[in-house]
Structure 1
Amino acid sequence: MKLNQSVFDDLWNGEKSVCFFVHLGRCFWVVDEKYNFCLDAEKDYRAYLEGGDITQEQYDLACKEFRGGILRMTADNFPQYLQSSNEKILSSFELENFIGVDGDIFKKVEAYYLTGEVLSMADFKHANVISSRFPKFYINFDRKIYMHLDYGRAHEDLAYSDWISECADFSFLIPDNERYWVKAGNDYWKLRFL
């Protein structure tokens, strides 16, 4: 993937998100539009059709075109999704510099949590810009776990009935060697909870 300011702007604006995938024991970091991280988009489109929000023709077209024809993402068709999203996969090299290192903002956030020392508006925004580059979605095909941190949205409703699915912190599920937000011993994940 080619990281540039446009990608970072899309992450900041919420147009795109980062997802951590597990498939056949391998880990993948993907930046994509967040609606592409739902498992069963057919549920949404069927509800739109039944509610009269879209026509049958619009439904049929959406089923063919959504996510390159992958309306229901499964372990079997996940490689097809990856293949069509090659430019959205983050490499380990890109992850090294994805959030940068800012020990000053980290210290200020720790002071806020410890003492309640107020952050300036600029520091608050800077911390949130950094946290916008953290994953909001976790999809593990091997264990059938779907989790997200896109509060106010019920993405878990589009998971399959035999999956564990919820809106909750999933950072503990990500292996230590994949946690690009830990820099120089500082765990920047805590910026997410401001």
Structure 2
Amino acid sequence: MNQEVFDDLWDGEKSIGFFVHSGKCFWVIDEKRNFILDADISLRASLANGTITTAQYERSCQKFREGILKITAENFQNYLHGSSAQLLLPSDLQGFIGGEPDVFKRIENYYLTGHGLDSELFKRANVIRSRLPLFYVNFDRKIFMHMDDGRFHEEYVHPGWIGECGDFSFLIPARERYWVEAGNDFWKVRFL
């Protein structure tokens, strides 16, 4: 990991997604828009309502995720090997959250008493929040969830899939929760 990746996460340029494929877990950093499963739904709607031309539609189909308009279980490995997706290894995730015990104690105190949330603590909490996953994709169970408030990524799922905006932390195995450091569960910064 380098500072450029953390800056992209902080700026919202990129996000983290958790994928399950054939019983294996994958952590991926990519541009937010690349986490939607079926980009063709959006492109066809833009074509139908006249927002884009046929030529623009065809160019977009070729450019978007290097031509992978629909991420499926069958082409997931192709997506992972594309130029935009960055696969994170378990070693990359150690210390990734950058959580500080003092920040955690202060956040817990705020939740308990309603006091102590100042701009400095809020900023530190948001830095941590930017390093938490926003997307959950389980090809085995056909579940797509996200926590990208105000966006409707769930509208771009494949038929027969569950698509929701909501907290998916309960679906991630304990061994994969890199945001738990020294017993401190930094997931709670999402709710400040």
* TM-score normalized by the length of structure 2: 0.97
**Aligned runs of 1:40-189 on 2, under 5 Å?**
40-85=38-83, 88-189=86-187
Unaligned runs of 5+ in 2: none
Deviations 1:109-159 (A, max 9, x none): 000101101311011010011111000000000000000000000000001
Unaligned runs of 5+ in 1: none
Q: For residue 27 of structure 1, what is the aligned residue in structure 2?
A: 25
Greater mean alpha carbon deviation, residues 97-106 or residues 83-92: 83-92
* TM-score normalized by the length of structure 1: 0.96
Deviations 1:84-105 (A, max 9, x none): 1586111111100211230000
CA distance in 2, matches of 1:62, 1:100: 37
SS at match of 1:166: strand
- The Cα RMSD (Å) is 1.1
Greater mean alpha carbon deviation, residues 27-36 or residues 43-52: 43-52
Q: Percent of counterpart pairs with the same letter?
A: 59
Give the C-alpha shift of residue 75 in structure 1. Answer: 0.5
CA distance in 2, matches of 1:49, 1:87: 27
CA distance in 2, matches of 1:48, 1:178: 38
Deviations 1:32-87 (A, max 9, x none): 00100000000110111111111101101111121011001110010110111586
CA distance in 1, matches of 2:85, 2:163: 27
CA distance in 1, matches of 2:83, 2:185: 29
SS at match of 2:160: coil
- Report how many residues are paired: 192
CA distance in 2, matches of 1:111, 1:189: 15
CA distance in 2, matches of 1:85, 1:175: 28
> Which portions of structure 1, spanning 4 or more consecutive aligned residues, are displaced by more than 2 angstroms?
none
Contact 2:149/2:165, CA 8 A, preserved across alignment: yes
CA distance in 1, matches of 2:19, 2:84: 14
Q: For residue 14 of structure 2, what is the aligned residue in structure 1?
A: 16
